[in-house]
């Protein structure tokens, strides 16, 4: 079994601040997303707000990543690189993945947004975004002391299968431990078997971030930037993410925002 960091009460107090900085940023991002803005505009907004909150963007220069946030539009699964040449159109769906570093801790979360509002998007896009959110919630409900990390992926897989919509669950990109390091143990895969993997204990913090494709689960990594991951078949993809804390009684969402998800 992997050695998973256990946060002290003081660690958790400090980490909550980092996570809440991220939540505030994602709340605010929803107000600026509209047709006509570029993903670079989003990056500029996130960078400035992160600094204003006394934090720094974890993604900037992380393993060479060039921006302060990830912006994944339509068929982009994750790690979309903001660009002045990517302009949002009414009907697009976009995932904004933000991580703030503050007090020596990282707070990681992502949300989906409907460009032009939900009514501007297709029924297919709306359903995918909503089902992906419910998949994340299904995983979160499994978090409790004594349960296994594999229970999370199993719950997500069971839920997606129950919809009978033919959605694909991305395997190559997963949730992860987060704390003093951006990526720590454990790895949180979004498929799995119950009773498998590390046992959850109070003080563990990690992300749950299912990536769900409307079609095939297969992925393609961009050869141009080395970061952007797209669906192999061009289908839409959605993702939601929270940093969670295992508590003595269950789970706390450290990156919970003040705005409703839809």
Residues constituting the chain = 262
Over residues 200-217, the pLDDT tens digits come to 999 999 999 999 999 999
Predicted pLDDT at 69? 98
Given a cut of 50, the residues of the chain with pLDDT beneath it are none
Take residue 19 and report the two structure tokens written for it.
């996570």
SS3 245: strand
180 burial type by CB count under 10 A (0-12 exposed, 13-18 middle, 19+ buried): middle
Predicted pLDDT at 34? 98
Take residue 30 and report the two structure tokens written for it.
């929803």
pTM: 0.97
Over residues 61-116, the pLDDT tens digits come to 999 999 999 999 999 999 999 999 999 999 999 999 999 999 999 999 999 999 99
Q: Domains plus CATH for the chain?
A: 9-250 (3.90.230.10)
Rounded to a whole number, what is the distance in angstroms from the first to the last CA of the chain? 38
**Rounded distance between C-alpha atoms, residue 31 and residue 169, angstroms:** 29
DSSP state of 51: H
**Rounded distance between C-alpha atoms, residue 74 and residue 231, angstroms:** 9
Predicted pLDDT at 1? 55
Q: How many other C-beta atoms lie within 10 A of the C-beta of residue 9?
A: 7
Predicted pLDDT at 262? 80
């Amino acid at each position: 079994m992997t050695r998973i960091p256990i946060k002290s009460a003081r660690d958790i107090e400090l980490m909550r601040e980092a996570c809440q900085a991220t939540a505030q940023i994602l709340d605010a991002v929803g107000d600026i997303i509209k047709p006509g803005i570029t993903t670079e505009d989003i990056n500029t907004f996130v960078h400035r707000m992160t600094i204003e909150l006394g934090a720094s963007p974890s993604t900037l220069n992380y393993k060479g990543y060039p921006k302060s946030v990830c912006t994944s539009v339509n068929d982009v699964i994750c790690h979309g690189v903001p660009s002045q040449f990517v302009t949002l159109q009414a009907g697009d769906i976009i995932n904004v993945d933000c991580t703030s570093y503050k007090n020596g801790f990282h707070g990681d979360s992502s949300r989906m947004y409907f460009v032009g509002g939900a009514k501007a998007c297709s029924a297919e896009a709306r359903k995918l975004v909503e089902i992906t959110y419910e998949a994340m919630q299904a995983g979160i409900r499994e978090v409790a002391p004594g349960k296994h990390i594999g229970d999370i992926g199993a719950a997500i897989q069971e839920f997606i299968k129950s919809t009978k919509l033919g959605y694909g669950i991305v395997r190559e990109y997963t949730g992860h431990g987060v704390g003093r390091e951006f990526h720590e143990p454990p790895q949180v895969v979004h498929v799995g078997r119950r009773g498998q993997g590390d046992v959850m204990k109070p003080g563990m913090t990690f992300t749950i971030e299912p990536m769900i494709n409307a079609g095939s689960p297969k992925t393609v990594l961009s050869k141009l930037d080395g970061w952007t991951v797209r669906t192999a078949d061009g289908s839409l993809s959605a993702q939601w993410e929270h940093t969670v804390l295992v508590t003595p009684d269950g789970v706390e969402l450290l990156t919970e925002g003040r705005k409703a998800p839809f």
